[in-house]
Structure 1
Amino acid sequence: MTVEYDLVVIGGGSAGLVAASAGAQLNARIALVEKHLLGGDCLHYGCVPSKSLIHAGQVAHHVRTGSKFGIYTSTPTIKFEEAINHVQNVIGVIQEHDSTERFEALGVDVFYGSGRFTDSRTFEINGQQLKGRNFLIATGSRPAIPPIEGLKETGFLTNEQVFSLKERPDSLAVVGAGPIGCELGQSFARLGADVTIIASRDQIMPKEEPEAAAVVQKQLEAEGIRVLTKSRAQKVEVIDGKKHLYVGDQVVIVDEILLSTGRVPNVESLGLEAAGVDVGKAGVKVNEKLQTSVQHIYGAGDVIGGYQFTHVAGYEAAVVIQNALFLATKKADYRVIPWATFTEPELSRVGLTETQARERYGDDVAILKHDFKDVDRALAEAAGHGFAKFITRKNGEILGAHIVGPHAGELIHEVVLAMSYKMKIDAIKSIIHVYPTLSEINAKAALQLTKQSYAKNDRLQNILRRFFNWRRSLV
């Protein structure tokens, strides 16, 4: 007897797990196909392990720099294998939530192995044919490997191997200065490695506001990390047991190379051509409803390109569930997409950069900025570096926000809420913020629009000046 599923989910990462769990709890018949481990890249090789390692590095750094608070310790002894054990323990705890048993208890049929479409209504795995009214392709992505001469012969690390290391390399070259490269580069440096970060652009994290990225780069360099901008690795070879990476006219000599040079969608061997699904350079092509070229086959997560974040994958899965199981009327809305880089200081963003805003709105742009050095809580914690920068139209409409400083990834959500509900910047200025908290920076930055408007309004200033002169004359 052939079972027809309401939804066959291909890929057990963030998007796939959200879709499978939600679908099953709505009493739909769900099949979940996973090649290796439930949880996907985020749990095993991405968000979870990287943030766990980042925290270990932060602890080492804070112990090492405690003297600025009058707390003196000996140089910390770092046992790298125990730090990695912490990472693996965290993965293990979270893995229980993503276990096969949990999903089967929800009523999901879980299948492990590599499979492929044989036609647009059938996905075959381990000789079994899964028939579906709808399908979700959520197979994620993998590290992109740059064409560096000698790289494969000398060996390298990606995020898929780095969290399983038993020994810390004494020296590390990070090729790629995006969020992952900067996060891991700083973490390894704080855990005792000599780190060089190689950036192909003129700034690290090129998608971020330049002045915000510059604050992070300054901190990385202050911690002894060498940052090479406008540089590309051309060749690598092993000499006397060391990897020699040729970068322009420089040679970077290290024990290990960590690649952080982008992602490639996992679309091979799925039989997408048999299903009639169109694929582009960025991955599976989808429309606003996340439908592929075949209406009952959807795509979500890294495999469709776009915003490659766990929280976006989860959001896209929710869109797919509504469209696949009910009426296909829901469109994905990417107007307000926040993200954060968890270096120290943290960097978070939502919406447009200043350059993007000026290209779109011309002179109808206001820049509101406030420094953490003018926030009392930041000073109390010796974290008075960085800033909040809000970009609005002159009527207060929020176009974007960029925060670089302590807990920026948490602080950005007040702006995300305001933008999501189309509130103007006055909404952030007007609410009472607890003193002393870091969140005061949002209110102080938001207040800048009122100050700017007043400074430019000579008529209002004259009216107020005459008013107070008149009041004083009555005394």
Structure 2
Amino acid sequence: MAEKYDVAVIGGGPAGYVSAIKAAMLGGKVILFEKDVVGGTCLNRGCIPTKSYIKTAETIEEIKNAGKRGIVNDPKTVVDMEQVVAYKDGVVKKLTGGVAGLLRSHGVTVISGEASLKDKTTVVCGGKEYAAAATLLCGGSVPGAIPIPGTELEGMLTSDTILDLKEVPGELCVIGGGVIGCEIATAFAAFGSKVTIVEYAQALIPMMDKELSAATEKSLKAAGITIMTATAVSQISKEGGKLTVKAGGNGIVCDKVLLCVGRKPDLSCLGSLSGEIKTEKRYVVVNEKMQTSIPNIYAPGDINGKSMLAHAAFKMGETAAKNALGAKERCKLSLVPSCVYTLPEVASVGMTEAEAVKTYGKDGILTGRFPFAANGRALACGHPEGLIKVIASKKYGELLGVHMMGAGVTEMIAEAASLMSAEVTVHEIAEIIHPHPTCSEAFMEACADALGKCIHLPKK
């Protein structure tokens, strides 16, 4: 007979390992199946590896600009990609090992292998069956593709495979100007590649507030990256060891091509129930409890497409674990911060200005801005680029959206998300004492600007 568990979790990524630990904390007997290495895309091929590369790029920029501070050195830098990859792999190994240790400490049974549903209460893995009262489908996602000739050619890369390159490409074409594409382009431009980004939409990172999208494009161009927006790629060819990307009426000749056109859910975990569990536009349909169309089966994380971010997956995983053991908790994802780790960084939470205008009307909102060029800490650190922009309702002062661009803003956005969750108004935030000199005080200043009473900006 199959051994029985309270909760079975298929997939050990952010949604999977967090839900397994949470279920164990709540007293459940839990089993987790992972076909690769625990930690999922985030730890192994996504968030953590790319941030390791971005920090290397940031270090290169600091070295190049050190002379401005009176530091006498040779600003010429050469990247040893084998060491870059080795450092990244060391960080990844430490974190994935830490996750494995957490699972052991909470008594979660971990099975290595590809698992899928046999029926509503049975998971099969490696020819063995495991019974569970509730199952959490945490299959995550895989890199997306586009139906054009040439994507199978040697030299084509995905956001997974580019992180194992042992040499810096002379010319790199990035197809897709979303978050991942812009981050990887930033890193390899700093490493020494001549980078071109081709984006089908009218602007880079189209979900971003238009003002910050334009500012991001400007900063990437300043870093030497060629940007082609509103441009479709029709085919990729190879001749003489070089790839040619046909984009619009142009042919972009390069050594490597990164295909970075989003991600799609990995539905292999649905197994025998793939025709029974409801899906829509490839994603598993879930309610706010993370339940699928089958009540004892849950699907938190990328697989449901609600928010393909690791921190959203953490929250969805916890919610699913609680409900799998009898709770009735709902997961609200309206205030999930989004971060882009370019140089400088971009972060946002809540509505864009266009969304706020659509909901409240142009005369129903307040906007405030504070540039880092007017912030003492940013200037002292040599990072004057960027701004903080806030959007609030005119009637009550409710903070509707916060959009930041600048050094370290991916750390600062948490304050905005916290205050928005607590429903603190722009009037109150403008009065909160922030430490000086810090970059974080620019948030307070932007809120004051929305009210027309910012001390450190000229009178309008």
Aligned to 1:458: none
1:213 CA drift (Å): 1.5
Aligned to 1:439: 440
Aligned to 1:422: 423
CA contact (8 A) 1:186 1:343 kept: yes
Is 1:354 aligned with 2:353?
yes
Aligned to 2:46: 46
Is 1:112 aligned with 2:112?
yes
1:102 CA drift (Å): 4.5
2-side partners of 1:194 and 1:218: how far apart? 17
Identity of aligned residues (%): 33
2-side partners of 1:438 and 1:180: how far apart? 25
What residue ranges of structure 2 are gaps of 5+ in the alignment?
455-460
Aligned to 1:402: 403
Distance 1:272 1:398, change over 3 A: farther
1:26 CA drift (Å): 2.5
Aligned to 2:457: none
2-side partners of 1:442 and 1:22: how far apart? 34
CA contact (8 A) 2:139 2:267 kept: yes
CA contact (8 A) 1:175 1:197 kept: yes
Aligned to 1:344: 343
Aligned to 1:312: 312
CA contact (8 A) 2:137 2:269 kept: no
Aligned to 2:145: 145
Distance 1:163 1:154, change over 3 A: closer
The residue correspondences of 1:373-384 to structure 2 (distance < 5 A) are 373-384=373-384
Is 1:83 aligned with 2:65?
no
Question: What does the per-residue CA deviation read over 1:50-70, in whole Å, with 9 as the maximum and x for residues that have no partner?
Answer: 000110111112112223323
**Secondary structure of the equivalent of 1:63?**
helix
Is 1:10 aligned with 2:10?
yes
1:77 CA drift (Å): 2.4
CA contact (8 A) 1:48 1:91 kept: yes
2-side partners of 1:269 and 1:304: how far apart? 13
CA contact (8 A) 1:396 1:449 kept: no
Question: What does the per-residue CA deviation read over 1:366-416, in whole Å, with 9 as the maximum and x for residues that have no partner?
Answer: 111111111111111221121111000012101111011111111112111
Aligned to 2:236: 236
1:445 CA drift (Å): 0.6
CA contact (8 A) 1:173 1:258 kept: yes
Q: Which has the larger radius of gyration?
A: 1
1-side partners of 2:380 and 2:341: how far apart? 21
Aligned to 2:196: 196
Q: TM-score, normalised by structure 1?
A: 0.92
AA in 1 matched with 2:108: V
Aligned to 1:218: 218
2-side partners of 1:452 and 1:73: how far apart? 45
Aligned to 2:367: 367
CA contact (8 A) 2:153 2:238 kept: no
1:347 CA drift (Å): 0.5
Aligned to 2:160: 160
Aligned-pair RMSD on alpha carbons? 1.6
Aligned residues: 451
2-side partners of 1:374 and 1:30: how far apart? 53
2-side partners of 1:2 and 1:385: how far apart? 60
CA contact (8 A) 1:20 1:30 kept: yes
Aligned to 2:177: 177
Question: What does the per-residue CA deviation read over 1:162-190, in whole Å, with 9 as the maximum and x for residues that have no partner?
Answer: 11111121111011001110011010010
Q: TM-score, normalised by structure 2?
A: 0.95
AA in 1 matched with 2:451: T
**Secondary structure of the equivalent of 1:98?**
helix
2-side partners of 1:77 and 1:165: how far apart? 16
**Secondary structure of the equivalent of 2:342?**
coil
